Amino acid sequence: ETGVTQSPTHLIKTRGQQVTLRCSSQSGHNTVSWYQQALGQGPQFIFQYYREEENGRGNFPPRFSGLQFPNYSSELNVNALELDDSALYLCASSLQAGGGSFGYTFGSGTRLTVV
Amino acid sequence: QKEVEQDPGPLSVPEGAIVSLNCTYSNSAFQYFMWYRQYSRKGPELLMYTYSSGNKEDGRFTAQVDKSSKYISLFIRDSQPSDSATYLCAMSPPNNAGNMLTFGGGTRLMVKP
pLDDT category at A72 given cuts 50, 70, 90 is: confident
Closest CB from A42, A48, A106 relative to B105:
A42
Average of per-residue pLDDT across A48-54: 89
The answer to whether B99 and B106 have CB atoms below 8 angstroms apart is no
A28 in contact with B at a CB cutoff of 8 Å?
no
How far apart CA A34 and CA B51 sit, in angstroms, is 23
pLDDT more than 70, % of chain A: 91
pLDDT category at A99 given cuts 50, 70, 90 is: very low
The answer to whether A80 and A68 have CB atoms below 8 angstroms apart is no
B97 in contact with A at a CB cutoff of 8 Å?
yes
How far apart CA B76 and CA B62 sit, in angstroms, is 7
Average of per-residue pLDDT across B38-51: 91
Indicate whether A88 pLDDT > 80: yes
Average of per-residue pLDDT across B87-99: 77
Indicate whether A83 pLDDT > 60: yes
How far apart CA A88 and CA A67 sit, in angstroms, is 19
pLDDT in tens, B4-38: 999 999 999 999 999 999 999 999 989 889 999 99
Q: What is the pLDDT of residue A1?
A: 47
Whole-angstrom CA distances from B1 to A47, A73, A84 are 22, 35, 20
Indicate whether A98 pLDDT > 80: no
B49 in contact with A at a CB cutoff of 8 Å?
yes
DSSP conformation letters of chain B: --SEE-----EEEETT--EEEEEEE--TT--EEEEEEE-TTS--EEEEEEESSEEEEETTEEEEEETTTTEEEEEESS--GGG-EEEEEEEE-GGGBTSS-EE---EEEEEE-
